[in-house]
Structure 1
Amino acid sequence: MSFSSATAVLITGAASGIGKATAERLHAEGVRRFALVDIDNAPPLADADVLQITGNVADPSTWEEAERAITHRFGRLDLAVVNAGVSGAGPIADLSFDEWRRVLSVNLDGAFLTLRAAMRLITGAGAIVVVSSISGIKAEPGVAAYGASKAAAAHLAKVAAKEGASRGLRVNAILPGGVDTPIWNGMAFFEDMVRDLGSREAALQAMATAATPLGRFATADEIAGQIAFLLSDAAATITGALIQSDGGYSL
């Protein structure tokens, strides 16, 4: 798998987790032009032309600025990774509307705005990957807002795939299960597990052992590799697919 150094890619949520790992993977595969969007600055990439866009993906003004800046810097996009997201938990009966909107705003409104910008800036053939979640398919107590946002994002990817197919634009979604990323940090139940089991690693392994037939969660680098495949010419006939990468959790 390799990409041209002239390839221009947009990645949201690029400062950490899957977004950061994907930027690093694509850089290793030859990409040298990056538009990286996050509320924090993404780490530097050696010998790359990096356009840092700091802002909230759910704010339309972020994308007005981003579209102008990307067009000025690169002229167009070739690839995009719709990745930025936040976590959230709580039973429906206890979930505040403010919390519902916080999660839906970033995970769905942000996905829509990112996808809209990417489809405008990729003027011909290209590829987009939307990072959804297995929570968008498998129901579990306490994940109403997060699961609903990720289910909608996955369907949005399928609609975009149908709209983009006539010009050779492929759009797919990847649905990770548990992944070792900072998204767990700050979640009350996870912090309790870390305290009870003595380490972050032990808490992640306990959840993976209980939930997945393979008995492990993915690393951000593994998901990044799968995203890179979907963006590459090796996946030239794959579009509108929802790729489950969950260690068998959804079986």
Structure 2
Amino acid sequence: MIQDAQVIAGFTGAGISTESGIPDFRSPGSPWMRHKPISFELFMRSAEARREAWRRKFAMDDLYRGAGPSLGHLGFASLVATGRMPAVITQNIDGLHQASGLGEDQVIELHGNGTYARCLSCGCRHELDWVRQCLDADGEPPNCRICGGILKSATISFGQTMPEGPMRQAQRLTASCDLFLVAGSSLVVYPAAAFPAFAKESGARLVIVNREPTPLDEAADLVIHAEIGSVFSEFVS
């Protein structure tokens, strides 16, 4: 089925990165439950919440520091290299698709990216090492070096508006593909999970690779319940 497709839309969730050692939100005993993300509204309202958000952010980063791309990531990179997969739509924030060799224009990040920070006022990018150094030195997260605005991990927090640019990119790719390939997503987090259904309604074939069943399994043309790496290793070149 993949060999016959002309335009493939890739779509990935947490399951592709758990094989790299990065925990997901829903597994029993997940460290995310000990370091729950703070809502955007509270982050903006409270300086104390911002300090705590950064503490939790760096605690989680330390848990999977050094994680590299899995066989799943490398398989998707190989599919992009064929020219038939223009980009990968991802719910993940770990930057591992870029680490697998994909360019920024080949990764559509619906939930942002946790490997750097952005100013919420001017959008200027700041590196996390600098943010952490300032936090360790002063006990306070720094403000933007350009405009003095609030810095936040460049992820989309609960209650924060979804990014318009990536959402439009994902919609265009979904509408133009003849195969929508899901890997490692439970397909329960919306609005991201609406894209596979939209692809199917638009006439594309839908393939889902995930360890556990998803709500869209019955609508899919092919469902594979297996480890992501074992399925995508055949595409790694």
What's the TM-score bracket when you normalise by the shorter of the two chains? 0.3 to 0.5
Higher helix share: 1
The TM-score with structure 2 as length reference comes to 0.41
